[in-house]
Structure formats: C-alpha cells, structure tokens
Amino acid sequence: MEDLNKLIITAAPVGAETSRQDNPNLPITPEEIAEEAVRCAEKGAAIIHLHVRDSAGNATQSKDVFQEAIRLIQKQCKVIIQTSTGGASWMTAAERLQPVELNPEMATLTTGTVNFGEEVFSNPLPLIAEFAKAMAERGVKPEIEVFEVGMIQNALSLVKKGILQLPLHFDFVMGVPGGIAGEPRHLIHMVESLPPGCTWTVAGIGRSELPLATIAIVMGGHVRVGFEDNVYYTKGVLADSNAQLVERVVRISGELGRQIATPDEARAILGLTR
C-alpha cells in the first residue's frame, strides 16, 4: 500500500515571465528544458509543471513545442508532466488550451481572474468551464490553480455542475503582486477552506517560496519550487539550477521526517489512473 503522507515535489523550471536577465541559467529550448526536468526528477521532483518557449525565447503555448519537450523528458524519466494552460496573460483561450490536446497526465486549471503585476490574468467563469470540460473529456487531471481564496469556491461550483469530481488537487500560488500574499495565515485559511480528501500544493513566489514550502511540509501538503516562482537560492544569490531548489526541499523534508514521493507514488496520492 502506498504511503499517502509522502511529499510530492513539483518543479516549475521555466514559467512564462522569467527571463535570462533574471537568471542566466533559465532553460529555454526543449532540449534544455528536458535536461533540467530530468535533473529535477533525479533530485526528487515527481511532477514537472511545464511551460515552453519559442525560438526567440518568448513564452508560447505551441502544441508542437510542448510535444517536443514532453517527448524528450519522457525519453529519459517517468516524471509526471503537468502542462500549463495559463500560458501568459496576453494569450487567447485557444492558444492556452493547446497542450491539453496532447493528453498530458495533468494540466493546470486557473479558476478565477486576478491582477498579475500590471496585467490582468483573465479567467471568466465560462472559460473556466470550457477548460475543465476539455480536460475531463481527455482524462487529464486538473490542478486547480488558486491565486485568491474565492477561486476555491469557483472550482467547487464546477463540482456541483458535474464538470469536475472530488477530490480535487489544488495549487496555491501565493505572493504574486495583485494576488493573495505569501503569508502563513493565508495558507492556513485556504487549506481549511478545502473539502475533506482534497490534496494541495503551495507555490510561494519570490521570498515566500522557502518559508511556505517548509510550512507545507509540516502541514502535510505538497510543494512547488522553480525558476517560474523564484530565481534565488538565498537573498541576492541566484540559484544555480532548478534542481538545486528541489534538492533543498528534499533535505528540509528529510530533517522534518517526511519522505519524498516517487512519480508513481505521486500518481497514487493524486489518483492518476494512466
């Protein structure tokens, strides 16, 4: 029987906003992204939260680029691939939904609109339902991406409509300018707002990444780290790689007495059936 208390680590190595000006070690090409994903898996990541870039290094939701990155990752390891349907705030819904056509095991589903720095990440309710239906039709497990506590209720409304089914898996993205602050009290409130049996991950942005990750380990939740969320290892010191950030979470979790989930153990915890 699987140990459902093990920690699932998600690595988010690329993102849509981070540039090589922020950290010169950011992977850009499918080959670089795959190499970094494999290194993260070797250090303990069970899930790769995947964004990709075009040949100029800009964020893209191109199905072809996703397909190549996924092929290269799966050629080398059995990590869970979780494609982003958030893309970037300027993309159309049709663009954002493209990677779901590849039938990944998981994909993100943002369940509300939020200010994102000086931009607006728009997710009106009809679009959320459209994305949820597309995932359900293809057997893709959604990770409910939450930037504000009200987005939890939006997700549960999809359960009432029969589009999604409990238990759900949530990712609390905390510390984005315009979204919920990366404070422990807010994390506790969101966790306490979930129905019984749901699982959750926290992605702390910038300086909140490490403290929220540590709190999540203690609370029995799961953790996301990576250059999408934070490019530093310590204050003013850039991380050498995403794998370095994964390795730190593994070490902290070990000190706190919590074991790390393998990809197959993560599949069992999340109820993935393929």
Q: Which token pair is 199?
A: 């699982």
Q: pLDDT category, 193, cuts 50, 70, 90? A: very high
Mean pLDDT of 118-128: 93
Maximum C-alpha span of the chain: 48
- What are 136-141's contacts with CB under 8 Å, separation 24+? 136/163, 136/164, 138/100, 138/101, 138/103, 139/103, 139/273, 139/274, 140/100, 140/103, 140/104, 140/105, 140/106, 140/107, 141/105, 141/106, 141/107, 141/169, 141/270, 141/271, 141/272
Crossing angle between the packed helical segments 30-43 and 63-74, to the nearest 10 degrees: 40
Structural tokens at position 42? 């070797």
Pairing of strands 222-225, 9-11: parallel
Average pLDDT on 180-187 reads: 98
List the structure tokens of 102: 């590849």
Question: Is the pLDDT score of 139 beyond 80?
Answer: yes
Assess whether pLDDT exceeds 80 at residue 274.
Answer: no
Residue 1: the pLDDT is 47
Q: Return the pLDDT at 156.
A: 98
What residues contact 109, with CB distance under 8 A and at least 6 apart?
A: 85, 128, 131, 132, 135, 142, 143, 144, 145, 155
Give the closest residue to 195 by CA, choosing from 155, 230, 223, 224. Answer: 155
Q: What is the mean pLDDT of the chain?
A: 96
Question: Would you say residue 117 has pLDDT above 90?
Answer: no
Question: What pLDDT digit, counting tens, does each position of 34-67 carry?
Answer: 999 999 999 999 999 999 999 999 999 999 999 9
